[in-house]
Chains A and B, each alone.
Chain A
Amino acid sequence: MVLPPRSSERTAMREYDIDETADITDVVCPVTFVKARVALDEMEDGRVLSIRMNDGEPVQNVPRSIKEDGHKILKLIDNGDGTYSLIVRKVGE
């Protein structure tokens, strides 16, 4: 089930002009990163992805993995419901 975006996410979507969303709250490490990466792989350069992830291990580790892949992290938003949204601009090869 995909929940509609919460108000904080909607605000962020306007602020960061988000093109795509991915929800990785239904998987655990290392699939969290794999799922986020698949979403990024399918996007064009410069497009912005919002990745919704759980507190704890995902929010501690996924940002670093995204950075190591060379993408640009714009913001981490606390959704206030135990999830976070990481706003990422895709950077190609």
Chain B
Amino acid sequence: MAVDYAALKKGGFMRQRQKDNFSLRLKVVGGNLTAEQLITIANISKKYGDGHVHLTSRQGVEIPFIKLADIDAVKSELLDGGVFVGVCGPKVRTVTACQGGEICPSGCIDTHPLALLISERYFGKELPHKFKFGVTGCMNNCLKAEENDVGVKGCFVVNWESELCSMCGVCLKVCRPGAIKIKEDRLELDGAKCDNCGRCVKSCPADAWKGESGYMLSFGGTFGNMISKGNSVLPIIKDRDTLFRVADAAVDYFSKYAKPGERFRVTIDREGWDGFTAALERAYGNA
């Protein structure tokens, strides 16, 4: 019987140069694996592969040199060890994330729980072409939000509470865009200059700067054959419901307007950013 390589690829088995050998792509969300999962992966690699694994550019793990004949056994043993097979082909791919606010002092949002929710909602969804989500916790952008079809970047919408302020002067220096100025005995924030990085909040010794977590979304990023930075076309989103309404709208738009085998960016460029933005704005406003 002929081997259905396309089906194997969709299921995460990437054909190798070496005949009947596959590099098995695993499902990893936000780059996190438990020690138990790692042990399972290591054992499978030793038993069925050649004893090494590859860490992919999108925080995934592949186990190379899996033999065609062993595919079913490998799948079942991985499942027993709590490890799931990834996907390839025209689908929503691995959701990437930095460590975020749960671990990283710079984080403005908890990236991992959000990455899990995004993954639960979209991972493996069939679309006209591959589709990537990435979640980065702050303006440092370690996870490179704008190179994803939909990028999520954590930020703070900041507010100064005068009665708590000791006028120590730290925020004036930590604010990189220079959005904070002293005017007599008050601080003034220039909203047009503020980039919502939240450094004032993180640094303020008196907790006089308050930060409300928000999400900045970018759309149409791609960093492969074609290189384009995702664009932010919406105001900062402050709740997950709105985030998912907007993400749904983006995915639906791609589903509806893309030609088969066409990346999201190409679709938006062809159909026009105005129409796309209008579709997102409708979702954004439909609270």
Please tell me which one of the listed residues A59, A64, A74 contacts residue B168 in the complex, with CB atoms under 8 A apart: A74
Cβ B199 vs Cβ A67 within 8 A: no
- Using known A-B contacts A60-B174, A64-B105, A64-B174, determine if residue A76 contacts B202 with beta carbons closer than 8 Å: no
- Using known A-B contacts A59-B173, A73-B205, A76-B173, determine if residue A64 contacts B199 with beta carbons closer than 8 Å: yes
Cβ B166 vs Cβ A63 within 8 A: no
In the bound assembly, the distance between CA atoms of A77 and B166 in angstroms comes to 13
Interface residues of B (CB under 8 A from A): 105, 166, 168-170, 172-174, 176, 199, 202-205
CB of A73, distance to nearest CB on chain B (Å): 4
Q: Which residue among A63, A67, A72 has the maximum number of chain B CB atoms within 10 Å of its CB?
A: A63
Number of A-B contacts (CB under 8 A): 42
In the bound assembly, the distance between CA atoms of A55 and B174 in angstroms comes to 10
30 contacts between A and B (CB under 8 A): A59-B173, A59-B174, A60-B174, A60-B176, A60-B199, A61-B174, A63-B170, A63-B173, A63-B205, A64-B105, A64-B199, A64-B202, A64-B203, A67-B202, A67-B203, A67-B205, A68-B105, A72-B205, A73-B168, A73-B205, A74-B166, A74-B205, A75-B166, A75-B168, A75-B169, A76-B168, A76-B169, A76-B172, A77-B169, A84-B173
Residues of A within 8 A of B105 (CB): 64, 68
Q: How large is the interface on A (under 10, 10 to 19, 20 to 34, 35 or more residues)?
A: 10 to 19
Residues of B within 8 A of A86 (CB): 170
In the bound assembly, the distance between CA atoms of A72 and B166 in angstroms comes to 11
CB of A51, distance to nearest CB on chain B (Å): 12
CB of B241, distance to nearest CB on chain A (Å): 31
5 tightest Cβ-Cβ pairs between the two chains A and B:
A73-B205, A76-B169, A64-B203, A63-B170, A76-B170
Contact with B along A17-57 (1 / 0, CB 8 A): 00000000000000000000000000000000000000100
11 more CB-based (< 8 A) A-B contacts, given A55-B173, A63-B173: A59-B173, A59-B174, A61-B174, A64-B203, A67-B202, A67-B203, A68-B105, A74-B168, A74-B205, A76-B169, A86-B170
